[in-house]
Amino acid sequence: MQKIIILDFGSQTTQLIGRRVRELNTFCEILPYNKFPKDDPDVIGVILSGSPLSVNQADAFRLDFADLRGRYPILGICYGAQLMADTFGGKVESSDSREYGRAQLQTIDADDALFKGIAPDAQVWMSHGDTITHLPQGFEVVASTPTVKHAAYRAADGEPLWGVQFHPEVFHTLCGRLLLHNFVVDICGSQQDWSPAQFVESTIAELRQQIGTDRVILGLSGGVDSSVAAVLLHRAIGDQLTCIFVDHGLLRKDEYTEVMGLYANLGLNVIGVDASQKFYAELSGVTDPERKRKIIGKGFIDVFEAEARKITDARWLAQGTIYPDRIESMNITGKVIKSHHNVGGLPEKMNLKICEPLRWLFKDEVRRVGKQLGIPQLLIGRHPFPGPGLAVRILGDITPEKVRVLQEADDIFISGLRQWPTEDGDVLYNKVWQAGVILLPVQSVGVMGDERTYEQAVALRAVTSTDAMTADWAHLPYDFLAKVSNDIINHVRGVNRVCYDISSKPPATIEWE
Ligand code: XMP
């Protein structure tokens, strides 16, 4: 399958370049800058990412262009563009005025293949402290802004090589999609055949080949990734797959039963384990968020392992790990800095091999694949939910009674979001990335009827986001918030005050703990 290689020099937007290429139905791999796959016949082009470094630093990341030049079309972005200019004999210097934010192109060469169809005054997004002051011999300017002369350049002799000092991958570069389309499709010749249907078909064939007649176990969480991985595997190997769903007692109201029902409808073989009492006992009196997480993580592994050991002939552990999990777990030198094994240590202990069928997909692609597999929207459209569940939304110690109160309040908020219509015929739930209620360790005075009350406060949290790395609080309609507040106070015993969290991430986080 054709692929674009994105060499990562450590920029925060490298992943975005990958997403944009995938949006062009083109497969791509993001690799550390020094890991170019020299012998891969499927490579059709190379993109060099930005970097927090300066090419003038002694320890700047360098590249051996002998592997690339003359073999593939190359697009250097920001640091990538500066690195090429510097390597080929140009000059990069620290710029007097640092170039950040919006800028308008002023002149462009309208005949240039990379800029085909792009308005001469298109808006771009700059973010660099260095600037290219002299282009190497044999290179020429393609676009400038009022302050950046070499905003884009190319090789003058027709070699397919470009450098842009702005970021075409970010939303604010309005012409960015077209520019990347020009590069990936027109210049590199992508046939744009990377699609959910194609992915499902080829992955099923690969899984059959990889697994043969072995047995596989998979931990389901009720979330999108593990559910899609399970259905994909089930398509490939049928009943050789056994799934395990652990209820730690910190799920949403009725979630365990509902999700088990959805899995049964999908034909999955799922062992459900209600371990809530174990978790409540172990969490009793614990207030520190990190200790809560550790207790739940270890408890989960214990329960999962006990069940998994009953499947004595299992050879594989399947996981719903997705691409961003793996990219985050590597730094640009390729060293693993954080392991994403949900059931840490288990594969080694039980001598299981790891199978990660979604390892190349971004979150939105997982949803598209899920849709392709016929998984109901109720499952694939679900908001993300933290592994430790409501434990990180009950500030302070956890008791079954607090879990009940929070489940009731959360249910009112979430079902409210699912029902509240929006102008475009959708519902509010689908307009937010994630929502939930937090039970605060605070009591306040209220009045209900003629009675003075002294009860708990809850906070509603709803955010918009594309990847949970940054998030904004969702601007939910006042009428909706008023109704939810009313419903919670009237129906959830023990709560007399509702607040709305209007903090963005950063500096706050999505969860409170
Ligand atoms: P924060 O709170 O860091 O969360 O802004 C970002 C995203 O990660 C989820 N989250 C977790 N998921 N285990 C998980 O599996 C955890 O311990 C955990 N903490 C946060 C959070 O819900 C949000 O989607």
What pLDDT shows up at residue 338?
46
* Residue 329: per-residue pLDDT: 60
Edge-to-edge strand ranges of the sheet holding 270-274: 270-274, 241-247, 215-220, 314-318, 353-355
C-alpha atoms less than 13 angstroms from C-alpha of 414 in its C-beta half-sphere: 21
CB atoms within 10 A of CB 379: 20
Average pLDDT for 422-444: 97
What is d(CA 451, CA 71) in angstroms, rounded to the nearest whole number? 80
Is-contact 391 402, C-beta < 8 A? no
Same domain for 209 and 178, yes or no, is no
> Any residues with Cβ below 6 Å from ligand 1, and which?
293, 384, 386-388, 434, 468, 505, 509-511
Q: Is 159 exposed, middle or buried (0-12, 13-18, 19+ CB in 10 A)?
A: middle
Does residue 136 form part of some domain? yes
- Do residues 161 and 219 both lie within one domain? no
Vertex 258: Cα angle to 257 and 263 (nearest 5): 95
* Active-site annotation holds for 328: no
Q: Is the pLDDT of residue 207 over 90?
A: yes
Domain identity same for 321 and 415: no
**Does 281 share its domain with 303?**
yes
> Same domain for 147 and 200?
no
CA of 192 to the centre of ligand 1 (A): 34
pLDDT of residue 133: 95
Q: Which of 15-19, 150-154, 406-410 has the lowest mean pLDDT?
A: 15-19
Is 387 among the domain residues?
Answer: no
In the predicted model, what is the mean pLDDT of residues 25-46?
A: 94
C-alpha to C-alpha distance for 237 and 251, rounded to whole angstroms? 29
Say yes or no: 13 and 133 in one domain: yes
Collapse the DSSP code of 320 into the 3-class scheme (helix H, G, I; strand E, B; otherwise coil) and give the result: coil
Say yes or no: 231 and 359 in one domain: yes
Distances (CA, A) of 102 to 93, 171, 454: 21, 11, 52
Number of CB atoms found within 10 A of residue 227's CB? 27
Ligand 1 midpoint to CA 385 (Å): 7
Q: Per-residue pLDDT averaged across 493-509, rounded? A: 94
Q: What is the mean pLDDT of residues 337-348?
A: 60
| Residue 181 lies inside a defined structural domain of this protein | yes
For residue 427, report the distance from its CA to the centre of ligand 1, in Å. Answer: 24
Report phi then psi at 458, rounded to 5. Answer: -120, 155
CATH number, domain with residue 166: 3.40.50.880
Distance CA 167, CA 300 (A): 42
End-of-domain residue from the set 380, 409, 435: 380
The full length of the chain comes to: 513
**Residue 293 CA: which ligand 1 atom is closest?**
17
Pocket of ligand 1, candidates 250, 511, 512, 513: which has the most ligand atoms within 8 Å of its Cβ, to mutate? 511
Confidence band, pLDDT 50/70/90 cuts, at residue 346: confident
Expressed in angstroms and rounded, the spacing between residue 386 Cα and the centre of ligand 1 is: 5
Ligand 1, atom 22, lies closest to the CA of 386
The answer, yes or no, to whether residue 315 has pLDDT greater than 70, is yes
Structural domain contains residue 455: yes
* Parent domain of 475: 399-500
Query: Which of 159, 187, 215 is the endpoint of a domain?
Result: 187
350 and 455 assigned to the same domain: no
The domain total for the chain is 3
- For residues 496 and 447, give the distance between their C-alpha atoms in angstroms, rounded to a whole number: 8
Whole-angstrom Cα distance, residue 52 to residue 106?
Answer: 26
If you average pLDDT over residues 105-131, what whole number do you get? Answer: 90
* Ligand 1 atom index nearest CA of 436: 22
Q: Which tens digit of pLDDT belongs to each residue from 210-266? A: 999 999 999 999 999 999 999 999 999 999 999 999 999 999 999 999 999 999 999
**Interatomic CA distance for residues 43 and 40, integer angstroms:** 6
Q: Mean pLDDT, the chain, as a whole number?
A: 92
Residue nearest to atom 3 of ligand 1 (CA): 509
Residue 385 CA: nearest ligand 1 atom is 22
Q: Which of 272-276, 377-381, 385-389 has the highest mean pLDDT?
A: 272-276
Asked if 78 is an active-site residue, the reply is yes
Query: So what's the pLDDT on residue 98?
Result: 61
Tell me, in angstroms, the distance from the centre of ligand 1 to residue 50's CA. 27
Rounded-to-10 torsion of CA 36, 41, 47, 52: -20
Least confident among 73-82, 239-248, 328-337: 328-337
Nearest partner of 380 among 447, 320, 327, judged by Cα: 320
Q: What would the two tokens of residue 468 be?
A: 């949970």
**113 and 11 assigned to the same domain:** yes
Whether the link from the prior residue into 168 is cis, omega within 30° of 0, is no
Helices 196-211, 224-237: inter-axial angle, 10-degree rounding: 60
Q: Which residue type, as a one-letter code, is found at position 124?
A: V
Supply 234's token pair: 């089930």
User: Is the Cβ–Cβ distance between 152 and 161 less than 8 Å?
Assistant: no
Whether residues 85 and 145 fall in one domain: yes
For residues 262 and 335, state if they share a domain.
Answer: yes
Q: Tell whether omega for the bond before 507 is within 30 degrees of 0, i.e. cis.
A: yes
- Could you tell me the pTM of the whole model? 0.81
In a domain, 507, yes or no: no
Q: H-type helices in 333-435, by residue range?
A: 346-349, 363-372, 377-380, 400-419
Token pair, residue 210, equals: 């990889």
135 and 174 share one domain:
yes
Residue 504 banded pLDDT, cuts 50, 70, 90: very high
Do 259 and 268 form a contact (C-beta atoms < 8 A)?
no
**pLDDT for residue 331:** 59
Q: Which has more pLDDT, 224 or 330?
A: 224
Find tokens 């991958």 and name the residue.
169
Of 425, 426, 416, 501, nearest in space to 457 by CA: 501
Task: Return the ligand 1 atom nearest residue 511 CA.
Answer: 2
List beta partners, residue 246: 273
pLDDT (tens digit per residue) in 10-34: 998 898 899 899 999 999 999 999 9
Final residue of a structural domain among 139, 166, 187: 187
The identity of residue 113, as a single letter, is A
Residue nearest to atom 8 of ligand 1 (CA): 386
Could you tell me which residue, 1 or 49, shows the higher pLDDT?
A: 49
Catalytic residue selected from 29, 99, 169, 513 = 169
Report the percent of the chain where pLDDT is more than 70: 96
